[in-house]
Amino acid sequence: MAGSTLRDVARRAGVSIRTVSNVVNGSVPVSEELRTRVQAALDELDYRPNLVARNLRRGRSGMIALVVPELDVPYFAELAREVITAARAHGYVVMLDQTDGDGERERELLGRESRATMFDGLLLSPLTISAEELRSRTNRVPVVLLGEHIFNGSFHHVAIDNVAAAREATEHLLGLGRRRVAAIGDQPYSTGETAQLRTIGYRQALERAGHAVDEELIVPTQRFHRHLGAQAMEHLLALPEPPDAVFCYNDLLAIGAMRAAARAGVRVPDDIAVVGVDGIQEGQYSSPSLTTVAPDKAEIARTAVGTLLGVIDGSAPPPTETKAPHRLLVRESTVGVGGAGP
């Protein structure tokens, strides 16, 4: 019903106006029963808050920024969609920017004073900037960090458990009877923390299964891009004793690796099984479809947005490291057509 007010919603739901306001603004926790009742009334009356007026009263812009390394990487594009959805539920608009993984760009974005008035808060997935640089920045806009750059609890940070994810992917390959499992994507330099964590998980799985780690089978890549996965697979297939399985540190590397295998006449998964990480939609429709460790991107977005809004309004707890859930999606690249999953 166009023009419905909080009073109308409260009357329909049989609750106080304050309770409706708490549900709409997310400012005070309410019971699930009350939230469900109020949300039903909001939907029935098609209530639309006056966001401009509300933000003006609060002295806020009603906008948050999401800054990621590369928007054309499908994982970040899919995450951005979830962030936009989560922010919209709280009446916020999201502006997107990218750093190209460049340290100077990250510092410039964080240091720009105009952001303190343009945006109420910032969700940042950094690759190079240090905790000390974040603490000493002149721009005091509230920040929540995404991704796997390590900050040791000094800031609100939402990520998956990369060690566990890599370990589970490698254990899946070993559980299929594969014995020579390679890894594509290690990054043994200061900005490669995500890759380093995944290498730890890969090593743990091999060691727990009683397999020696063959350093020759760990192939580094500068970035997590398709063509680099293809190059790494070509290198592995040229070894005197090629691997019979490959854990790739993201889905794009895995898709590139599978393409290189196909060009070489190597069958996936018959000759070599392949696993990725990220759970991007492209992997579901590749041929063969890609087994992957899929982070819960919707939960990452909801947690990050909710935490950022808490920092903005002062209700957030001290900085926390939040681990978002992930799950292994078993598909054709490891078990073949007959055993493929979703």
Task: Look up the CATH number of the domain holding residue 288.
Answer: 3.40.50.2300
Q: pLDDT, tens digit, for every residue of 153-179?
A: 678 999 999 999 999 999 999 999 999
Retrieve residue 150's tokens: 């390590």
| pLDDT score at 4 | 73
Residue, of 137 and 56, whose pLDDT is higher:
137
Q: Within this chain, do residues 233 and 332 fall inside the same structural domain, yes or no?
A: yes
Please check whether residue 105 lies inside any domain of the structure.
Answer: yes
- Structural domain includes residue 52: no
Contact 296, 325 (CB under 8 A): yes
Arithmetic mean of pLDDT, 6-30: 79
273 and 185 share one domain: yes
- Number of compact structural domains in the chain: 3
Average predicted confidence (pLDDT) for the chain: 88
Query: Do 215 and 281 belong to one domain?
Result: yes
**Phi-psi category of residue 46: left, alpha or beta, with phi > 0 → left and psi -120 to 50 → alpha:** left
The pLDDT score that the predictor gives to residue 46 is 78
DSSP per residue, 214-242: -GGGEEE-SS--HHHHHHHHHHHHTSSS-
**282 & 175 share domain:** yes
Nearest alpha-carbon partner for 269 in 177, 201, 155? 177
Which residue type, as a one-letter code, is found at position 201?
A: G
In-domain check, residue 156 = yes
Confidence of residue 42 (pLDDT cuts 50, 70, 90): confident
35 and 87 part of one domain: no
Quote the CA–CA distance of 311 and 124 in Å, as a whole number.
14
By the 10 Å C-beta count (0-12 exposed, 13-18 middle, 19+ buried), 150 is classed as: middle
Q: Residue 258 above 70 pLDDT?
A: yes
Handedness of CA 138, 142, 146, 150 (dihedral sign): positive
Torsion over CA of 146, 280, 265 and 213, rounded to 10 degrees?
40
Residues of the domain holding 232: 162-295+328-339
Q: Are residues 182 and 280 in the same domain?
A: yes
- Does residue 47 lie within any of the structural domains? no
- To the question of pTM greater than 0.85 for the whole model, the response is no
pLDDT at 313: 86
> Is there a single domain that holds both residue 145 and residue 3?
no
The top-scoring range by mean pLDDT among 83-92, 275-284, 307-316 is: 275-284
Flag whether 13 is in a domain: yes
Per-residue pLDDT tens digits for 186-212:
998 777 888 999 999 999 999 999 999
State whether 333 and 309 are in the same domain.
no
Kindly state whether residue 239 falls inside one of the protein's structural domains: yes
HSE-CB at 231 with a 13 A cutoff on CA atoms is 11
Q: Average pLDDT for residues 19-29, to the nearest whole number? A: 70
In a domain, 311, yes or no: yes
User: Both 128 and 257 in a single domain?
Assistant: no
CA distances to 122, 145, 210, 312 from 153, rounded to whole Å, are: 18, 11, 34, 19
Q: Are residues 230 and 190 both part of a single domain?
A: yes
pLDDT at residue number 24? 72
In this structure, is residue 264 part of a structural domain?
yes
Digit-coded pLDDT (tens) for 67-123: 999 999 999 999 999 999 999 988 899 999 998 878 788 877 777 655 556 789 999
Measured CA to CA, the distance from residue 290 to residue 277 in angstroms comes to 10
Residue 52 has what pLDDT?
47
pLDDT of residue 244: 98
